[in-house]
Amino acid sequence: MCGIVGYIGHRNAWEIIIKGLKRLEYRGYDSAGVALVNGNMNIYKKTGKVSDLENFADSADLAGSLGMGHTRWATHGEPSDRNAHPHLSRNQKLAIVHNGIIENYASIKEMLIQKGHTFTSDTDTEVLIKLIEQIQLEGETDLRDAVRMALTHVTGAFAIVIASQEEPDLLIAARKGSPMVIGIGEDEYFIASDASPIVEYTKQVYYPEDNVLVYLNRDQMEIRDLTNLELTPYIQELELELEAIEKGGYEHFMLKEIHEQPRSIANCMRGRIYADEARINLGGISEYAVKLAQAKRIIIVSCGTSWHAGLVGEYLIEEYARIPVEVEYASEFRYRNPIISEEDVVIAISQSGETADTMAAIELAKKAGATILGICNVVGSSIPRLSHAGMYTHAGPEIGVASTKAFTAQVTALTLLSLYIARQRGTLPASKIATLLAQLQKTPQLIKECLKNEPLVKQIAYEIKDSTNCLFLGRGINFPVALEGALKLKEISYIHAEGYPAAEMKHGPIALIDEQMPVVVIATKDSSYDKIISNIQEVKARKGKITAIVTEGDTIISEIADYIIEIPLCEEALTPILATIPLQLLSYHIAVMRGCNVDQPRNLAKSVTVE
């Protein structure tokens, strides 16, 4: 979950690394550090954000054209200067930055202590660099072989960069299960956890596979596996544009990304919809169309917001394609003994494509013979490579830690997938598919209408901002929207919030409702409309403060609720996309009014690459 940056070339490394770390700060912001090799090994690290590191090193010697940096999300050891990366070998001549977890670090650490090593941090990373040093000492091997041999002794996930004071023209990088991309410039190379620190300098990139080591000199890149076999890298061209990872005049990335949803959803649909023909083109999974159509069961595995999208997908696939669907938390799925067969299709959903639990769930399902389809946003990430086939959501970079446009793009992709399977199975008339596709094509414009309600949402946010609890209610396909609304509020504003099926409120949560309890209800005109009115009446009878998301023109709920936010009339299946927009805005403005760091909420990171 941490962010790493490395550089070797002819430019000032500090400037490139600091700028890169700021772009990766969504991955962690407990502490930051940089190592520069310029005759000496100069280490600068500080608890807090990258800006704190900049201030700390303001008057230091920052020369050098080789270096690496790290922004941390703490796993082993509390956030502190001593636990910040980079970490050093005993002789202070080797430095390492690391994203991931070394699971067997404790046994390795005990062995190293017996050999005379002492440790200055609580991290697993320091154990790895001292293991490399010990192997180098005992075997009289060069650094390359020492790193390679050390990696055969560790279990867990890692993306590492190593620099040596004694080899000032060499950077070593390696990965297993954690993301890494290498940027290839003119007599220079860049290393990063994703492409955002690289895109400013080059569009030529290489995504290392698992258990691959990359040796970088200023004018040469060499790739080898753990057996020391030389490999040929597959060089790709980045499609990412620099402006996509900048705020573009918005106060926060999250607000920018909320407002980007008309475009991100249009991008997700582009080239995939032929409404007049009632046809969906999903080239990435066409090879598995028959397998999908004949599946006895579909299992969706995901985490967090992606799990909520999966719940919407469950409604859609079962409604339209008539295939049983199970939605599993990947973190739970991987640790039990699930019943999986070769007739099952597993859909893995992840914005980053690097979610550790989801990747482990995929591996488990593949061993059982299931067909794996991935739905991801980040091109070149691990989950697409692990999957048999899949779909990119094409939402564009999402920098804000709280997911917004990725969620609605995932729901859009799942809508397309459900209709695609329905067409293959013949479970839905072509006329109905054509109607739904035509409606889906209008969604970007309908979202623009939803965004016009922002001033009203901001007023409602002011009324709710001082609350300590909030309840979100929905029924049917909008129950997952209630879960997502509650998650957004608690993760960025730190208000305790719960999402519940509206009908289940009477089985416990109604005990919490009084005049101090805000209740947000998704109450659009759909098949559950009459029932949701009854649920609203039950809340009102107990003096709860009701904010209702309603269909435009609703006159009944407006007489009951304290506040209403209208969304355009649409097909019931598409309401999750539209109803999500005001909930995102509500959470955003409440968090801003409470003085919270919206883009970097405490204790969170964007990409959960550790368990």
Q: Which residues pair with 230 in a beta bridge?
A: 224
How many Å separate Cα 134 from the centre of its chain? 36
d(CA 372, CA 573): 25
Contact 73, 82 (CB under 8 A): no
Helix, strand, coil percentages (3-state) for the chain, rounded to 5, are: 40, 25, 35
Q: Report which of 503, 555, 489, 599 is spatially closest to residue 253, judged by C-alpha positions.
A: 599
Task: Please give the sequence-ordered ranges of beta strands (E in DSSP) within 103-238, or none if there are none.
Answer: 156-164, 167-176, 181-184, 189-192, 204-206, 212-217, 220-225, 230-231, 235-237
d(CA 71, CA 20): 10
d(CA 213, CA 351): 26
Q: For residue 278, how many C-alpha atoms fall within 13 Å in the half-sphere facing its CB?
A: 13
CA-CA-CA-CA torsion sign (579, 25, 7, 211): negative
Identify the burial level of 449 via C-beta atoms within 10 angstroms of its C-beta, where 0-12 means exposed, 13-18 middle and 19 or more buried.
middle
Among 45, 488, 545, 606, which one carries the catalytic annotation? 606
Contact 309, 282 (CB under 8 A): no
**Among this protein's residues, is 490 annotated catalytic?**
no
Q: Read out DSSP for 369-384?
A: T-EEEEEESSTT-HHH
**What are φ and ψ of residue 457, in 5° steps?**
-60, -40
Q: What is the CA radius of gyration of the chain?
A: 25
> Per the structure block, which two tokens stand in for 249?
């005049």
Give all strands of the β-sheet with 167-176 in edge-to-edge order: 87-88, 94-102, 156-164, 167-176, 212-217, 220-225, 230-231
d(CA 409, CA 264): 7
Among 2, 303, 376, 450, which one carries the catalytic annotation? 2
Helix (H, G, I), strand (E, B) or coil at 96: strand
d(CA 190, CA 207): 12
d(CA 174, CA 596): 36
Contact 17, 35 (CB under 8 A): no
d(CA 443, CA 6): 41
Q: Report which of 411, 413, 418, 388 is spatially closest to residue 323, judged by C-alpha positions.
A: 418
Single-letter code of the amino acid located at 120: T
Contact 272, 292 (CB under 8 A): no
CB count in 10 Å sphere of residue 176: 20
Single-letter code of the amino acid located at 497: A
**Among this protein's residues, is 606 annotated catalytic?**
yes
d(CA 97, CA 88): 9
Helix (H, G, I), strand (E, B) or coil at 341: coil
Single-letter code of the amino acid located at 245: I
Helix (H, G, I), strand (E, B) or coil at 393: coil
Known catalytic residues? 2, 606
